[in-house]
Structure 1
């Protein structure tokens, strides 16, 4: 598929996933398709890495469902993962310590290193609590 110009109009997608390790692959492939169809091929590789880390954390560290949210607006791609655990994510280690970190703890260090901006916020809806961890990539 030839690369097209990124769309200037904002758009947003949400993919709700079960707590299943296979959901990480489904999320990654869905994100690749979304970005390709919107002409954002230059962001695919980094975006896939970031989404994989966010969704992996949501699936690995919680027992409930999760969701991948992808939003494009004003030249910024926001990738986020919602999960049912209201506890904040562990703070990421320094990039220089990445090789020394155990398998746990590398994900958010990679997100911090590769994204232009990242953060998290607690969420509450219909009496259910959780959190939303997100990162942004600018074109």
Structure 2
């Protein structure tokens, strides 16, 4: 059995990266928030923690609600000194995010609105390719800009 409580370690060279496989269920958001908090602490970017935790919760919840995947992969990368990317990879490339306004009485449907408000930018990337089956998955990601 894999522990979801692995300590975060920073990468000594190249672009820093941390990733963790999690069950594709809404309860995984708590583990994801902890991983984000620990990673940003290692990188001394604690000022991004609140926004990053909310984005992580929404990305994980969306994967759990809108796909039939059994597991997801949470990625936290630092493509530059001032930018952090949070991504969730799932195996459902045909289930792409759709940005649409939520009604005042809707109990759901505000996740992408929150991500759009908090992130510097967000989007998705289709992953892999197979000659017969096409893409095998996607990563939905959001970038945060650090104030250095």
On whether the aligned pair clears a TM of 0.5, the verdict is yes
- Relative to total residues, which structure has the larger helix share, 1 or 2? 1
Aligned length: 129
Residue pair 1:69, 1:79 contacting (<8 A) in 2 also:
yes
Give the Cα–Cα distance (whole angstroms) in 1 for the partners of residues 52 and 105 of structure 2: 22
- Alignment TM-score, normalising by the size of structure 1: 0.82
Q: CA RMSD in A?
A: 2.3
Contiguous gaps of at least 5 residues in structure 2: 1-13
Contiguous gaps of at least 5 residues in structure 1: 1-8
- In the alignment, structure 1 residue 59 sits paired with structure 2 residue 67: no
Describe how 1:1-139 pairs up with structure 2 within 5 A.
10-64=15-69, 65-74=71-80, 75-86=82-93, 87-93=95-101, 100=104, 102-124=106-128, 129-139=136-146
- Alignment TM-score, normalising by the size of structure 2: 0.77
Give the Cα–Cα distance (whole angstroms) in 2 for the partners of residues 92 and 122 of structure 1: 21
Query: Alpha-carbon deviation of 1:124?
Result: 2.7
Residue pair 1:90, 1:105 contacting (<8 A) in 2 also:
no
What are the superposed Cα offsets for residues 6-28 of structure 1, whole Å, 9 maximum, x if unpaired?
A: xxx63011111112322111111
